[in-house]
Copies of this chain bind each other. A is one copy, B any other.
Amino acid sequence: MRLRLGMIGGGQGTFIGAVHRIAARIDWEYELVCGAFSSDAKSSQASGLLLGLPANRVYNSYTELIEQEKQLPEHERVQVISIVTPNHLHFAPAKMALENGFHVILDKPMTFSLAEAKVLDRVVRTTGKLFCLTHTYTDYPMIKEARQLINAGKLGTIRKVYVDYPQGWLSTFLEGDGNKQASWRTDPGKSGIAGAMGDIGTHAFNLAEYVTGLEVTQICADINIVVQDRKLDDDGAALLKFNNGASGVLTASQIAAGEENNLKIRVYGETGGLEWQQNDANSLRIMYIDKPVEVWRAGAGYTSLFALQNTRTPPGHPEGYLEAFANLYRNFALTIKAGLEGKAALPEALDYPGIKEGVRGMAFIENVIASGKSDKKWTEFSI
């Protein structure tokens, strides 16, 4: 049985729309049944046609989609709605979808503001519908392994966390050349109060909290607009304090000229450390004080169920970004299906980012930007 999936946004020519669809197809837990792919009706229809949808399931707006689908018989009606619009168009469709009985998959950062995030949090709790936020990077198998190892005490109490997210693609004033990706990401009206911090800083923040199982309690940030005339931050760094007393450093830059997308994390505890980077995503380095470094590999028999269930191939057959995205889609599907069957979902399936991560991510944005403007060293992480 495949879940019936609908999309809001993500029409022709959008990068992330195609990624969502591939992710949904890889494990074939979903069937795309409807969509409102663009706020432009013609464009939405054209996208739907290309995707092979019947015309009557391609809608001109998200409101139309939700209202019409709700009228359909239960066995035809869409079950999960994936929302892949720019940040300012996250909240309203997500809220409406949840309130009308649909499960929701939403792109990060979760909303335009923390205030919206808190409302959505309540909506999720009230409606009881399931909610998944696409913090893709935490769905790499070796990231899941890292979390399991730390949780099991492999490194002792965590003392230090470094997370770095360098990109270089905004090194020039790309938004001046009409680049679509750059334009909305640097537009306060569409992105919110943060640029790089919202786009990639939230990923780094989420990765740090996910892997360590800790929560950030204080932030001291240096937030920069490096490229002239840009309206939102394109670079930043933050000193962090965690709830167990550990400290950390988070960096996120989109003006690290020549860098692609090599998100990295290093965590150190009393007895050892670990290191992961997306460029070598299938490896996890474990360091010890007095033993050789170990390189743990995705798909290997010695890894945990959390890693193995998120790998499709034996060691040495590299899986990458699209498979990480697919893991997220699959785990969400398995959780939904367990619910439909009245069963408890497996811990491995439940291990996908959700509303809590979304609220914390929005709080990160507000706190990190506030800290960037503050003369005080430490800003309490408040929600």
Contact = CB atoms under 8 A, between A and B. Distances in A.
Contacts of A167: 316
How many protomers of this protein does the assembly include? 4
B222 A289 contact: no
Contacts of A260: 297, 314-316
A218 B291 CA distance: 39
A119 interface: no
A235 B261 contact: no
A213 interface: no
B256 A316 contact: no
A262 B15 CA distance: 30
A194 interface: no
A105 to B, nearest CB: 18
A205 to B, nearest CB: 16
Nearest to A379: B377
Nearest to A323: B322
A319 B316 contact: no
Nearest to A234: B159
Interface string A270-291: 1111000011111000111111
A258 B278 contact: no
B239 A220 contact: yes
A39 interface: no
B26 A28 contact: no
A286 B162 CA distance: 23
A164 B22 CA distance: 32
B297 A294 contact: no
Interface in A77-133: none
Given A156-B257, A292-B297, 8 more contacts: A25-B25, A160-B256, A235-B247, A256-B266, A258-B293, A318-B321, A319-B320, A377-B377
16 contacts: A15-B314, A159-B257, A160-B255, A168-B273, A222-B247, A237-B249, A249-B249, A257-B272, A257-B287, A258-B273, A279-B316, A293-B294, A313-B321, A318-B318, A319-B320, A319-B322
Q: 4 closest A-B pairs (Cβ-Cβ)?
A: A258-B287, A260-B316, A261-B316, A318-B320
